[in-house]
Amino acid sequence: MIRTSRQLADGREILYYDDDRHPAPREAEDARDLPPVATRSQLRFDPLLGEWVVVAAHRQSRTFLPPADQCPLCPSRPGRPTEVPESDYQVAVFENRFPSLATDVDRDVPPAAAGNPLAELRPGFGRCEVVCFTSDHDRQFADLGPERARLVVDTWADRTAELSALDGVAQVFCFENHGEEIGVTLSHPHGQIYGYPFVPPRIEKVLASVRRHRAATGADLFGEVLAAERTGPRVVAANEHWTAFVPAAARWPYEVQLFPTRKVPDLPALTGAERDGFVAVYLDVLGRFASRFDTPMPYIAAWNQAPVGDGRDDWWLHLQLFSLRRAPGKLKYLAGSESGMGAFITDTNPEDVAEQLRAVVLP
């Protein structure tokens, strides 16, 4: 893999990732006249839930579902400069123009929210990056093929290592939102990476469960769950290095978790063979998501990596892939129980979902 760093007109960094078997010069300059990025994010602490909330009101003006010929993630062309100055690219990563978190955020914030000394305030420090999987506007991740998908995996691993090394970053989160029903604002095939200054609630909760289980039994909860699922009725796809299964207590109508066979904390720790193994299983499962109904399912793909600091030795890397589509033309909305109480009520049976996904005939 070849990584080339350049700067955009407003000073943001853009990185090109190229397969070293297909190198390309990356010399194009961004000729746009852009104002500097101004990030005014804050972290506000919810004392009742014990969780941080990111307040990023400046993002209200971000680009929203432009037509394809105005896509800011497509390569630049004469008379139509975009976020990617090159006329073509393989994988491109750049700092978000409308970031929720930024390294140069305004640090001058009061200690607490007005009128509530328990609601601690902190600057919205961190980093938010956009990852463009391909220059082709009309492709999906499921269509990338093994070679390009592997380059994306290597890019995720490289960015995870780089962001983890930033002083103040506590968690690196790589993810993809796919489909308008999920809430994407740009239809070009892309994902994002967040470098959080705190450990998110899901990771904290899972770590607490893992530690309780070890204290009570001496065993690794991740390992026991994976061993049980690998021989159970909910496996969708598997190979030597990875297993994709519908979790027994799936929350979403269609949900699959992908676990490596070997316990590793994060993407950089995967070997080349394990990365290839992931690509094979992931493209298989994405193909099933795309073909289960008459139109491809919207989905979120969320990497669950170890925290940067405490908890790395306890963690087992895995990917969550889930869709809120429960039937053709029907979505699962997070209504009263889910949104109000955080108590999920699922509309599908996990064993049935696994059987349905296994039965999909891939093109």
Does 188 show up as a binding residue in the annotation? yes
Question: H helices of 72-144, where?
Answer: none
**What CA–CA distance (Å, rounded) separates 240 from 313?**
23
Count CB-CB contacts under 10 A for residue 243.
Answer: 22
Phi then psi for residue 244, to 5 deg, are -115, 125
Burial class (CB in 10 A: 0-12, 13-18, 19+), 113: middle
Q: Is 277 within 8 Å of 241 (Cβ atoms)?
A: yes
The CA distance from 153 to 32, in Å, is 31
For the sheet containing 127-132, what is the strand order? 2-7, 13-18, 91-95, 127-132, 190-196, 171-178, 299-304, 318-323, 254-260, 242-245, 235-238
The question of whether 190 is a catalytic residue gets the answer yes
CA 232 to chain centre: 27
The Cα 243–Cα 239 span in angstroms is 7
Residue type, 77: R
**How many CA atoms, within 13 angstroms, populate the side-chain half-sphere of residue 310?**
6
41 closest CA partner among 96, 95, 100: 100
137 is in an annotated binding site: yes
- Mode of pairing for the β-strands spanning 91-95 and 127-132: antiparallel
Q: Would the annotation count 174 as a binding residue?
A: no
Return the structure tokens found at 264.
């590793």
Assign 251 to helix, strand or coil. Answer: coil
Could you give the strand order of the β-sheet that contains 42-46, starting from the edge strand earlier in sequence?
Answer: 51-55, 42-46, 116-123, 112-113
- CA angle, residues 304, 308, 311, in degrees to nearest 5: 75
Asked whether 145 and 290 are in contact (CB, 8 A), the reply is: no
178, 190, 241, 318: the active-site residue: 190
Q: Which residues are annotated as a binding site?
A: 71, 74, 137, 188
- Catalytic residues, by residue number, are 190
Which segments are annotated as binding site for Zn(2+)?
71, 74, 137, 188
